[in-house]
């Protein structure tokens, strides 16, 4: 995998209307930059709705973005690309060594205590005290936060063995905005140092998941 990989799992009940041909997987690639620009075409105003449609292999992805307050509708077509290989490896299976589940709001507050200018973040998981440690080193020196397994911010703590790895802090900061909408944050690690971050987002009794995987810069025994 690349340095970072993100997956969003959106159940069909999150949509007001959902239809797909039965027993058929629809898989294609598009430019994420163009897709997000289409979705944000009205900026933060208007609470717009979006309709997505896709006909068949090679067809463009069609978006109809409607402003909820003004009588404005924008039609977009995004070129799609075929997916040559779908990986069989489950990254979730690689992150099966340790797992810690946090209250999302509290975890964001913990990350904000660290030096935002730091390039690296070290995550230390230990079955013994201090249990969970986040460390950054930047221009202002070292920032460290120790979190006990008995902390109010932790709902599940499963640590089979000590694991210490460093990651690019910029990769973690990328998901902070989405983390503000989450209810729970699950942190998991594997023997290779692969870091898994799963966000659970509840909305009107509906639930969706976002999985975010980051490769370690290097792991320490």
State pLDDT tens for residues 43-79: 877 788 999 999 998 999 999 999 888 889 999 999 9
- CATH at residue 203: 3.70.10.10
Give phi and psi for 109, each to the nearest 5.
Answer: -60, -35
Domain count, the chain: 2
Do 80 and 126 fall within a single domain? no
Q: Is the predicted pLDDT of residue 146 greater than 90, yes or no?
A: yes
Determine the structural domain holding residue 45 and report its residue range.
Answer: 26-86
The predicted-structure confidence for 167-215, as pLDDT tens digits, reads as follows 999 999 999 989 999 999 999 998 889 999 999 999 888 899 999 999 9
Whether residue 138 lies inside any domain: the answer is yes
What pLDDT score does 116 carry? Answer: 87
Structure letter (DSSP) for residue 118: -
Q: Is residue 221 scored above 50 in pLDDT? A: no
- Residue in 176, 206, 211, 218 with CA at minimum distance from that of residue 196: 211
Last residue of a domain, one of 86, 115, 134: 86
CA distance 122 to 168: 9
pLDDT band at 21 (very low <50, low <70, confident <90, very high): confident
Same domain, residue pair 176 and 81:
no
Matching residue, tokens 């992805």: 61
In a domain, 56, yes or no: yes
- State whether 159 and 203 are in the same domain: yes
Judgement on whether residues 95 and 53 belong to the same structural domain of the protein = no
Residues 35 and 111 both lie in one domain:
no
Q: Are residues 119 and 215 in the same domain?
A: yes
Residue 198 included in any domain:
yes
DSSP assigned state of 72: -
Residues 6+ apart with CB under 8 A from 192: 94, 216, 219
Are 73 and 101 part of one and the same domain? no
Whether 102 and 76 map to the same domain: the answer is: no
pTM: 0.84
On whether both 103 and 212 belong to a single domain, the answer is yes
**Distance (Å, whole) CA 52 – CA 80:** 13
Out of 86, 103, 131, pick the residue that ends a domain.
Answer: 86
In a domain, 6, yes or no: no
| Whether 102 and 197 share a structural domain | yes
* 121 lies in some domain: yes
Instruction: Write out pLDDT tens, residues 87-97.
Output: 555 677 788 89
In a domain, 114, yes or no: yes
Mean local confidence (pLDDT), 116-133: 95
The verdict on residue 9 lying in a domain is no
**Cis peptide bond upstream of 130, omega within 30:** yes
As a whole number of angstroms, the distance between CA 193 and CA 190 comes to 5
Same domain, 68 and 140: no
pLDDT over 70 percentage in the chain: 95
Q: Which pair of tokens denotes residue 86?
A: 């779908």
Mean pLDDT estimate for the chain: 90
Residue 65 forms part of a structural domain: yes
Clarify whether residues 58 and 136 are in a common domain: no
| Number of other CB atoms surrounding residue 199 within 10 Å | 20
Residue 23 has pLDDT above 50, yes or no: yes
């Amino acid at each position: 995998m690349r340095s970072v990989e993100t997956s969003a799992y959106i159940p069909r009940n999150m949509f007001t209307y959902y239809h797909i041909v039965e027993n058929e997987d629809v898989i294609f690639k598009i430019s994420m930059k163009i897709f997000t620009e289409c979705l944000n075409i009205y900026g933060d105003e208007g609470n717009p709705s979006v309709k997505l449609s896709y006909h068949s292999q090679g067809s463009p992805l069609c978006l109809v973005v409607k402003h909820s307050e003004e009588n404005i509708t924008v039609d977009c077509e995004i070129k799609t690309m075929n997916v040559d290989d779908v990986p069989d490896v489950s990254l979730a299976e690689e992150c099966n060594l340790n797992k810690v589940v946090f209250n999302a709001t509290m975890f964001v507050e913990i990350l904000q205590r660290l030096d935002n200018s730091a390039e690296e973040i070290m995550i230390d998981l230990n079955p013994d005290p201090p249990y969970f440690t986040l460390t950054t080193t930047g221009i202002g020196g070292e920032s460290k936060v120790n979190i006990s397994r008995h902390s109010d911010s932790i709902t599940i703590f499963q640590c089979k063995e000590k694991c210490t790895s460093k990651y690019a802090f910029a990769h973690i900061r990328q998901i902070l905005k989405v983390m503000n909408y989450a209810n729970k944050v699950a942190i998991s690690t594997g023997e290779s140092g692969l870091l898994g971050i799963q966000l659970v987002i509840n909305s009107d009794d509906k639930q969706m998941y976002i999985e975010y995987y980051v490769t370690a810069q290097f792991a320490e025994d």
